[in-house]
Amino acid sequence: MFNSILFATTASPTCDDAAKVAFDLAKKYNAALHVFHVFGIPTRGASPFVTDVRTGEQETLDDDYMAWVKEEMKSTYAARMEGVNKAQIDCTVGAPATEILRKAWKEDVDLIVMGAHTRQDDVGAYRYRQIAGSTMQRVARGSRCPVLIVSRPCNTCFWYFNNIVFGADFTKASTAAFKFAYQTAKHIGSKLYLFHAIDLSEMRFGQTAGQEDIEQRITEARRQMEERYLSQMKEFDNFDVEVWEGIPHVEILKFAREKNADLIIMAHHTREVDPEKALLGSTVEQVVLRSACPVVSVNRLDKIQSGDVPLVQASKTETVP
Amino acid sequence: MAEPAEKTPLESIPLAEPATALPVADAGIEAGVQALTPRTIADTVRRVLGAETGARLKAYLSTCTHCGLCAQACHFYLSNAHDPSYAPIGKIKHTLWELLKRKGQVSPEFIRQASLIAYTQCNMCRRCAIYCPLGIDVAYMISVVRRICRALGVTPLYLQDTVNSHSATHNQMWVKADEWVDTLQWQEEDARDEIPELRIPLEKEGADIMYSIIAPEPKFQAGLIYKAAVIMHVAGVDWTMPARPGWDNSDMAMYSGDYDIMGRIKRFHFDTAARLRVKKIVMGECGHAFRSVYDTGNRWLGWRMPPIETQHAIDFYYDLLTSGRIKVARKYEEPVTLHDPCNIVRGYGLHEKARYVVNALCEHFVEMTPNREYNYCCGAGGGVINCGPPYKQTRMRGNSVKARQLEATGVKVLIAPCHNCHSGLEDISQHYHLGLEVKFLADIMYEVMEK
């Protein structure tokens, strides 16, 4: 399912939850794992110094320091590293989001794993999206491959996922997200919930949606579900379709809780200019911050193996016709 | 300095703060000062003034009537309790005049102070030249001081690091040769997702245009290359980018006073365009690079004007819009305001074209006051932001007047068609809690154009 995974880490305990998932995934799929850390720099320009993530002190950036940090990362993740065959530890200096995307492009990875918070005291806080995990947002928007965001301890490992929720919004990016959701569910053998929330928050002042109007839109959404997604699924019937109405991120979270979801998969819009089309764009960020389970953000098709082609590692262990 | 806990209302942004010297520790300056002797100082001052200055400096020095009108022009003066030592003339008095008067017989401590004044308390924005009844260019005199400090080895560490990078790599950010090509390929692949036939043509000899940018783009803001490529593609421009060094048009050596390096990198930039046999160079949205290409760097090399036609992005966008090669699908709706960057407005007069472009792209344009050639500096230019974190508070305190000017527009989207301005204004917005979204023209053009 995955050949190459990029785990972007702050190399601090805030990323431990994400680390567990990243290393587990690499083990499970025998994927190459790139453990990658970007030094923040204390200025907008180039800098001879970096801020050490653990001590918060200023360090001179040179080969010695780089080697020392890599060594530290190696010992931090030594226990997790066992059983991972192709792990590579790397670090660089620069703007974190840009460097993570650059690395993902360079190594041609098919999944990025990262935490949502950069600071430990942010955990659990209901921060607004300007503040929380701005690196995560930028990466999720710019990435060509799915981005798995882990902000809470994930106790079920990736292959134990039982209930996957796919939050649909009928855009091109959403089709990519669907493909990923479908393949993951099929591969793992878990239940897939296709979910859409009619957005009522957009109602203008003084205008409330009549029941008839809402029902009409629900019918339309179900038709779209059928046309866009259900028709794509072959030999897979372990799914359910639901359409609710309300504020999308709230509805998705409610739905996920009700279904005991352990993975949410959504589209994240990069360059959709028309905001109406990109309904879920900011919703992903809201969901990530509040979700109890990991969230995968997908915005493009090109790194998702297409159709019913046997999934890479699966072909060896499972029966694929 | 403690930052205000919540948003500061307009009235409480102090127009004038008490003028207390901010303690700064700068390893570059300290190391330089340690190595000074009175003799090296005197020799160096004599050498620089004797060999590199002439009628221009003499004219400025002999015509200045000490009227003090330049004071009102300077954002450092206006933001620092009208402390006369921050007036342009005050800065010259504490540096160049003393050096001349004492024929270079000054202490290392004097050089330390002169260096701090010249590098971090003047953005060389030339607003004061507009206010001077005699048209004296104080920025030029500051650049002479910087030149002397550089020759003495007393330069802020961060600034010197960027100059070292220029010298070693021909770009400002230590971008390695393969990283550059990788970045272009990466952005091309990303853009082809949107426009499958898009290319970023590398090393295309005989193309009409060589597009050159500054190193922070590939390093931090690779998305800008993507946007530029889309604009070029849609406009059907015959363009190219160099695959080898020479692609970076920025120039921090101009600001540090390292004119030998300045000359070397400018020549390299022009040589690259000549090697590719392009008709002209189009530069990204950067102000200081333009100053270096059409004013300072070329003249150091002996060209009165750039040897190859050179066009700033604003000018280029103006051409694209007026010739109809870029059409606007739907104008940007949110109200915007425009910051006039010093190097391309006071320095080159692109303000009306900038307004044409903004109005063509945006529905609601709100002027900030003062504007055009009277606009206040962003506080980042002149290499000051490149002097790094030790001087951030100097910059923030020294530009409350800009914060007031921005807040008075009541607008939340600020267009700054210059990288330095962009960074400086983001800092100001953050420091004074203005909540501004700072954008490049390319950001907006990409968003609203027909693709």
Q: What is the pLDDT of residues B79-133, one digit of tens each?
A: 999 999 999 999 999 999 999 999 999 999 999 999 999 999 999 999 999 999 9
Note whether B186 contacts A95, CB cutoff 8 Å.
no
Q: Would you state the torsion angle of the CA atoms of residues A219, A223, A224, A226, taken in this order, to the nearest 10 degrees? A: 140
Residue linked to tokens 């007069």? B349
Q: Which residue has the higher pLDDT, A86 or A121?
A: A86
Residue linked to tokens 């160049």? B96
Residue linked to tokens 């800092």? B427
Q: Same fold for the domain at A1-156 and the one at A161-321? A: yes
Using the predicted structure, report yes or no on whether residue B3 has a pLDDT greater than 50.
no
Provide the pLDDT confidence category of residue A313 given band limits of 50, 70 and 90. Answer: very low
Q: Do both B104 and B195 map to the same domain?
A: no
Mutate to test the interface with A, among B120, B190, B385, B446 (most CBs of A within 10 A): B190
Quick check: B450 contacting A, CB < 8 Å?
A: no
| Contact residues on chain A for B25, CB-CB shorter than 8 A | none
Domain residue spans of chain A: 1-156, 161-321
A→B contacts (Cβ < 8 Å), by residue, are 42-48, 94-95, 98, 101-102, 105-106, 142, 144, 271, 273, 300, 302
Question: What's the DSSP call for residue A133?
Answer: T
Strand partners, A194: A166, A241
Contact A148, A136 (CB under 8 A): no
pLDDT value, residue B72? 94
Contact B437, B414 (CB under 8 A): yes
Note whether B220 contacts A44, CB cutoff 8 Å.
yes
Q: Nearest Cβ partner of B219 from A48, A94, A101?
A: A94
Neighbours of B334 (CB within 10 A): 12
Provide the pLDDT confidence category of residue A204 given band limits of 50, 70 and 90. Answer: low
pLDDT value, residue B14? 53
Contact A111, A7 (CB under 8 A): no
Mean pLDDT, range B368-372, rounded to an integer: 96
Q: What kind and span of H or E run contains A297? A: strand A295-298
Using the predicted structure, report yes or no on whether residue A155 has a pLDDT greater than 60.
yes
Contact B360, B444 (CB under 8 A): no
- CA neighbor of A89 nearest in space, from A74, A78, A99: A74
Residue linked to tokens 């301890």? A153
Note whether B182 contacts A102, CB cutoff 8 Å.
yes
Provide the pLDDT confidence category of residue B420 given band limits of 50, 70 and 90. Answer: very high
Contact B257, B143 (CB under 8 A): yes
What percentage of residues in chain A have a pLDDT greater than 90?
Answer: 26
Which pair of tokens denotes residue A130? 């300007």
Q: Do both B415 and B388 map to the same domain?
A: yes
Provide the pLDDT confidence category of residue A316 given band limits of 50, 70 and 90. Answer: very low
pLDDT value, residue A126? 37
Q: Nearest Cβ partner of A47 from B158, B189, B447?
A: B158
Shortest CA distance from A92: residue in chain B:
B219
Q: Do both B105 and B215 map to the same domain?
A: no
- What interhelical angle do A281-290 and A134-142 show, nearest 10? 140
Q: Do both B77 and B216 map to the same domain?
A: no
Which DSSP string do the residues of B411-434 spell out, in sequence order?
A: -SEEE--SHHHHHHHHHHHHHTT-
> B176 lies in a domain?
yes
Q: Do both B250 and B276 map to the same domain?
A: yes
Last residue of a domain, one of B94, B120, B155: B155
Mean pLDDT, range B375-386, rounded to an integer: 95
State the average pLDDT for chain A. Answer: 78
> B5 lies in a domain?
no
The predicted-structure confidence for A285-299, as pLDDT tens digits, reads as follows 778 777 888 889 887
Strand partners, B212: B283
Mean pLDDT, range B28-35, rounded to an integer: 95
SS3 A163: strand
What percentage of residues in chain B have a pLDDT greater than 70?
Answer: 95
Provide the pLDDT confidence category of residue B241 given band limits of 50, 70 and 90. Answer: very high
- CATH class (in words) of the domain with range A1-156: alpha beta
Which pair of tokens denotes residue B418? 């210059």
Q: Which domain holds residue B135?
A: 27-155
> B3 lies in a domain?
no
pLDDT value, residue A200? 79
Quick check: B328 contacting A, CB < 8 Å?
A: no
Strand partners, A193: A165, A240
> B43 lies in a domain?
yes
pLDDT value, residue B378? 96
What percentage of residues in chain B have a pLDDT greater than 90?
Answer: 91
> B60 lies in a domain?
yes
Note whether B190 contacts A144, CB cutoff 8 Å.
yes
| Contact residues on chain B for A42, CB-CB shorter than 8 A | 388-389
Note whether B388 contacts A47, CB cutoff 8 Å.
yes
Strand partners, A49: A60
Last residue of a domain, one of B155, B189, B218: B155
Last residue of a domain, one of B322, B356, B373: B322
Q: Do both B306 and B212 map to the same domain?
A: yes
Q: What kind and span of H or E run contains A111? A: strand A111-115
Q: Do both B287 and B347 map to the same domain?
A: no
State the average pLDDT for chain B. Answer: 93
- Name the fold adopted by A161-321: Rossmann fold (3.40.50)
Question: What amino acid occupies position A270?
Answer: T
Question: What amino acid occupies position A126?
Answer: Y
Note whether A46 contacts B222, CB cutoff 8 Å.
no
Using the predicted structure, report yes or no on whether residue B19 has a pLDDT greater than 60.
no
Note whether A271 contacts B194, CB cutoff 8 Å.
yes
Using the predicted structure, report yes or no on whether residue B445 has a pLDDT greater than 60.
yes
Sheet holding B239-240, edge to edge: B239-240, B209-212, B280-283, B310-312
